[in-house]
Amino acid sequence: MLALLSSPAVEALLKFFNKIWVLGKIAESWKKAFILAFLKPGKLLNWRSRYRPIPLSSCLAKTYVRIIKISFLLQIGSCGLGGCASDMIHRLTPFVFLMQVRTREPLL
C-alpha cells in the first residue's frame, strides 16, 4: 500500500504521523484489532489452546509503530546512553523510512 503512494501523499502521511506524535493521541480504530482463530496443524477442534490467534489491525498503525521503533533504535545507536550533539537524524528518520518503504528496501 505505502509503496504506491506519491511523494505528496508520503509528505501528508508524515505530517499526520508527526501530528499524532506531538498530540499524543491516536485513532480509536488503531487500538482495536479483529482476531481470527486458526487451528494449529494436526490438532483437534475442541480445545481453545489448539488455535492460533491472528490479529488484523490497521496498516497505518503498524507502520507508525515501526517508525517509532526504528527511530528509537537509531537514537540509541547514534547517541548511546549519553546526550546527543544533534537531533537531526531523529527528524529525518520517519521520512527516510517512508521513502524506503516506497522503494521496498530494508532500513535495518
Q: pLDDT tens for residues 42-75?
A: 777 777 778 888 888 888 888 888 888 877 777 6
pLDDT at 6 over 50: yes
- With a CB cutoff of 8 Å and minimum separation 6, the contacts of 50 are 39, 40, 43, 44
pLDDT of residue 79: 58
Mean pLDDT of 27-49: 82
Chain-centroid distance, C-alpha 79: 22
pLDDT of residue 107: 45
Q: Is the dihedral of CA 92, 93, 96, 102 positive or negative?
A: negative
CB distance 49 to 37 below 8 Å: no
Distances (CA, A) of 70 to 13, 14, 95, 106: 17, 15, 12, 11
Share of the chain above pLDDT 90, in %: 0
| CA nearest to 65, candidates 30, 108, 29 | 30
Rounded to 5 degrees, what are φ and ψ at 38? -110, 135
The reported pTM is 0.56
